[in-house]
Amino acid sequence: AQSVTQLGSHVSVSEGALVLLRCNYSSSVPPYLFWYVQYPNQGLQLLLKYTTGATLVKGINGFEAEFKKSETSFHLTKPSAHMSDAAEYFCAVSDGRNFNKFYFGSGTKLNVKP
Amino acid sequence: GAVVSQHPSRVICKSGTSVKIECRSLDFQATTMFWYRQFPKQSLMLMATSNEGSKATYEQGVEKDKFLINHASLTLSTLTVTSAHPEDSSFYICSARGAPPYYEQYFGPGTRLTVT
């Protein structure tokens, strides 16, 4: 079975600082990994995804994530935070055989201080 | 591309009535649609998966007679909350996925249901 752990329900950074949101997963098969962002009272928007190939994936809005199999991690980073990045971020995993099942982490709320 | 809409965005209904929420994929054909429920400050809980023209597959613990799902076409799925009660108040989000190899799910903006 798959599961996702997001360390830190709240992360606060200053504008311009590095953003690091942590995601660890467990999966019995090669995982497909996703990061989504949710703004208040809105649905989820796909930031980036890893399926196969290059382990460093780049997404929208300057975000990127690196799949590290040995660490079972898929941390999300952005070099310089912007006020508009303040939102909730969800990591999700699905297995390569059953794309219907997305397992979401509990979410990390990012606060960006001016 | 890959836009999913939901209607209504907010709905308030009285206890005992039924409410229908629509989910549409606007620019692609969604072979599979998903319905999630999100409680305040919590993650998404998958309620059911529906494939066009087939009966929905419900997750364990989700009452299929209470949450009726119809995936009538490749662009439309509906969720009907029957005989709603205050505990059904929640944020309902749908998502849609095209045919493989499209693995990601595209999410609608959500519907806030309040049952009084």
Mean pLDDT score across all residues of chain B = 90
Say if the Cβ atoms of A99 and B100 lie within 8 Å: yes
CA-based nearest distance A45→chain B, Å: 7
Supply the pLDDT for residue B44: 86
C-alpha torsion A86→B4→B6→B74, nearest 10: -160
Q: How many CB atoms lie within 10 A of CB B112?
A: 15
Q: What is the pLDDT along chain B (116 residues), one digit of tens a residue?
A: 688 999 999 999 999 999 999 999 998 888 889 999 988 777 888 999 988 888 899 999 999 999 999 988 889 999 999 999 999 999 999 999 877 666 678 899 999 999 99
d(CA B2, CA B23): 13
The Cα A34–Cα A48 span in angstroms is 6
Q: Which residues sit opposite A113 in a β-bridge?
A: A14
Nearest CB partner across the interface for A44, out of B6, B49, B107: B107
A50 touches chain B (CB under 8 A): no
Q: How many Å lie between the alpha carbon of A3 and the closest alpha carbon of chain B?
A: 13
Q: Nearest CB to B110: which of A41, A101, A105?
A: A41
Per-residue pLDDT of chain A (114 residues), as tens digits, is 678 999 999 999 999 999 999 999 988 777 889 999 999 878 889 999 998 889 999 999 999 999 999 999 999 999 999 999 999 999 999 876 666 678 899 999 999 999
